[in-house]
Structure 1
Amino acid sequence: MEEHIGYAGAVPGSTGVDHSTSTTSTMIRELHAYEEFEQVDELFGRIWGFEPDSRPITAGLMRALTHAGNYVSGAFHGDRMVGASVGFFGQDSTLHSQNTGVAGGRGIGFELKRHQRLWALDHGISRITWTYDPLVRRNAHFNLTKLGALPVEYLPDFYGVMADAINHGDESDRVLAAWPLTDPRVEAAGRGVPYLPPVPEDAVVGLADDGDRPVEGRTDGRVVLVAVPEDIERLRGEDAGAAKAWRHAVRDVLGGLMGEGATVTGFHRKTYYVVERNT
């Protein structure tokens, strides 16, 4: 599965450092007990609407991951879990964040990622990666603007056709986001300074949003803007044809540019990926 900083209705550290953080109403801490992992399983089920036999991460798997030293955290309002995050170690000093889900007030997803970053740095991790659906506009804004992460790879139909309530049988194209934890852009984002990519006046629009329908434009500029729909989750339920058109248009334009070696440098006006050609 993937990062989904959305809303439903949204291991102990080897060094012994306490990474629990709190705001005025939310406490975020690592999880240890099997009963807590069962709460995460139930929370993710409410957020994604999984069928009982199709949940990708179970309480038992989380128990095994944490026993091996990996990352599981929960966000709480009092005794009520309102968010959770699960990650595991990858190659080259990387933590791969497999699921982050929120079912509570706004701001919890950001605090979960801040907690995850501190935990990773304490464990000698310099980069966190995760996948997300490039069509979900709010997640693109969150990942690229609020966190300072950037897409590094386009992954067509990465998980196969998905049947949960969020994806509605859509093909599962994803982008792999990379979060270099000590990059000045990321450090500034952690202080609440959003990352706003420069957009030159001669940027061209490679894909536009015209009333829930994608409209392909030019991709021959040095900088290309690629739009995503305002609300793909609503569109999947109301107009599956339009949702499919968006999937293939973004795959062709954004995926095509990235496949040619272009670099995504940010997300502009909560609407457009900013893509810069390297040649």
Structure 2
Amino acid sequence: MYHQIKILQTVDELTEVQKLEQHIWQMDPIPVHQTLTCIKNGGMMLGIFHKEQLIGFCYGFPGFVNGKGYLCSHMLGIHPNYQNQGLGEKLKQAQREWAIHMGYQLITWTYDPLESINGYLNLEKLHGICQTYIENCYGEMEDALNQGLPSDRLMVEWWIHTPHVIEKQKPPFIKYKQPLLLPWNLNKRDFPFLDDHVIDLPTIWREHLSERKAIFIPIPTQFQKIKQTDFSLALDWRLKIRYLLQVLFAEGYALTGVKRQTDEPIQYYVAIDVKQLSIHDS
């Protein structure tokens, strides 16, 4: 099915984005005066349409740190009736084309590390990487997806000019031989959980860390279902994944992919030594 993507610039167009944003998340939208000012000063708002209906958007603004600029991709939303149809990927690729035209080298954004679908899009399809973990990034959030848990986020780095992205490079297969798979089990409700001994991570991983082997970290396939049914288990996943990824990142590892398990209650993040990647951060 054909969907048109275009840059949104007028007050009327940005007002339509507000309506869609509110419908998706059931929360107050970004003020039009802010988005309008942003897109006039190096930012962007892309919309994707089905016929004449706005069904998705992608919004970003300029960031600047350590003397270098980048595009901060703040929000991407798809109307619930059109989700899981690949429209998010189409918007991100259009965003990349726009960013290249504007002279950006890097696009960043954040997502919940326990949302496996988002992880698959960001790391497998777009070939972003993650090596930064932000605890409780937005404080307490009231929307349905985030309410109740610390709003931890992974920061995605999308180095849009590099071979890792352009050529969709993956590290040589040899790097994946004999990876360490962290153990998980099922509880009485058939929900997956991580054993408490993952807190002994430095001891368990010593050989793999010293040899810089790949490490596979499990996350739930259906985190929102766990959260709605067993909040204490959802919090347990949040805190253990927080600990595991912070240790990994401190050791110079990055998340580079999501290994899907068909009909399994878990998916695996693929973590490797960041030096093995064809990216730059200088």
The TM-score by the shorter chain falls in which range? 0.7 to 0.9
The answer (yes or no) to whether the contact 1:146–1:195 under 8 Å persists in 2 is no
Specify the alignment match of 1:200 in structure 2.
176
Q: CA RMSD in A?
A: 2.2
Partner of 2:269: 273
Q: Is the 8 A contact 1:70 1:88 kept in 2?
A: yes
In the TM superposition, residue 229 of structure 1 has moved relative to its aligned partner by 0.7
Further displaced range: 82-91 or 198-207: 198-207
Of the three residues 240, 260, 271, the one matched with 1:249 is 240
How far, CA to CA, are the matches of 1:195 and 1:235 in structure 2?
A: 32
Q: Which has the higher helix share?
A: 2
Structure 1 residue 277: Cα displacement? 4.9
Please identify runs of 4+ aligned residues in structure 1 that moved more than 6 A: none
Secondary structure of 1:85's aligned partner? strand
Q: Percent identity?
A: 29
The alpha-carbon distance between structure 1 residues 278 and 31, as it changes in their structure 2 partners (threshold 3 A), is closer
Which shows bigger deviation, 200-209 or 267-276? 200-209
DSSP-derived class of the 2:96 partner = helix
Q: Does the CA contact (< 8 Å) of 1:155 and 1:174 recur in 2? A: yes
**Corresponding position of 1:17:** none
* Contact 1:208/1:226, CA 8 A, preserved across alignment: no
Equivalence map 1:175-214=2 (5 Å): 175-189=154-168, 198=173, 200-206=176-182, 208=184, 210=186, 211-214=190-193
TM-score (norm 2): 0.81
Cα shift at 1:59: 2.1
In the alignment, does 2:205 pair up with 1:219?
Answer: yes
Structure 1: gaps (5+ residues): 1-23
Q: Tell me, what secondary structure is at the counterpart of 1:114?
A: helix
Q: Given residue 156 of structure 1, which amino acid in structure 2 is its aligned partner?
A: E
Deviation at 1:209, TM superposition (A): 5.8
Partner of residue 83, structure 1: 56
Instruction: Write the mapping of 1:158-177 to structure 2, written as runs, cut at 5 A.
Output: 158-177=137-156
Cα distance change on mapping 1:207 and 1:196 into 2, 3 Å: farther
Residue of structure 2 in register with 1:121 after alignment: 100
Do the aligned partners of 1:209 and 1:228 also contact (CA within 8 Å) in 2? no
Larger radius of gyration: 2
Residues of 2 paired with 1:168 and 1:278: CA distance?
33
1: distance between equivalents of 2:35 and 2:63? Answer: 16
> Which of 5, 14, 39 is equivalent to 1:37?
14
Match of 1:99 in 2: 75
Structure 2 gap segments, 5+ residues each = 199-203, 262-266, 276-282
Per the TM alignment, residue 64 of structure 1 is displaced from its structure 2 partner at its CA by 1.5
Contact 1:87 1:96 in 2 (8 A): yes
| SS of aligned partner of 1:157 | coil
Aligned-partner residue type, residue 14 of structure 2: F
3-state SS of 2:176 partner? coil
Does the CA contact (< 8 Å) of 1:93 and 1:124 recur in 2? no
Aligned partners of 2:71 and 2:108 also within 8 Å: yes
